[in-house]
Amino acid sequence: KAGVTQTPRYLIKTRGQQVTLSCSPISGHRSVSWYQQTPGQGLQFLFEYFSETQRNKGNFPGRFSGRQFSNSRSEMNVSTLELGDSALYLCASSPLGGLGYGYTFGSGTRLTVV
């Protein structure tokens, strides 16, 4: 079966711009989480959606937002981009997002802010 699909794979944006990243989870997976990965901070949790509702939120500023659609696809938006937002953004899906299941990660979107 198809894995987690993230688009685009690479993105270059200018400071102050906004960006939208997309994630299509594995069919049947209802939980979608987003992580930011940087060499300095490692894997940092952004938020988790389950059945179109944000169930958990990490410690990121309000410039980072997301949503989930009825087909479980998710989008993440970052407004007013800063240089420090340059990172690999990973989406992960899970059937229920909890015990008994690991998360399947997508290949990520590499965002570079210049």
Partner 1 sequence: GQQVMQIPQYQHVQEGEDFTTYCNSSTTLSNIQWYKQRPGGHPVFLIQLVKSGEVKKQKRLTFQFGEAKKNSSLHITATQTTDVGTYFCAGPQRGSTLGRLYFGRGTQLTVWP
| Residues in contact with partner 1 by the rule CB under 8 A | 31, 33, 35, 42-43, 45, 48, 50, 55-56, 58, 90, 92, 96-108
CB of 109 to partner 1, least distance (A): 11
Distance between first and last Cα of the chain: 37
Query: Which residue's CB is nearer to partner 1, number 48 or number 85?
Result: 48
CB of 62 to partner 1, least distance (A): 18
CB of 11 to partner 1, least distance (A): 16
How distant, in Å, are the alpha carbons of 32, 35, 81 from that of 5?
Answer: 12, 15, 23
Query: Which residue's CB is nearer to partner 1, number 17 or number 101?
Result: 101
CB of 86 to partner 1, least distance (A): 17
Query: Which residue's CB is nearer to partner 1, number 80 or number 96?
Result: 96
Query: Which residue's CB is nearer to partner 1, number 15 or number 96?
Result: 96
CA angle 5, 77, 114 (to 5 degrees): 95
Cβ contact 3:78 at 8 Å: no
Q: Rounded to an integer, what distance in angstroms lies between the CA atom of residue 88 and that of residue 9?
A: 9
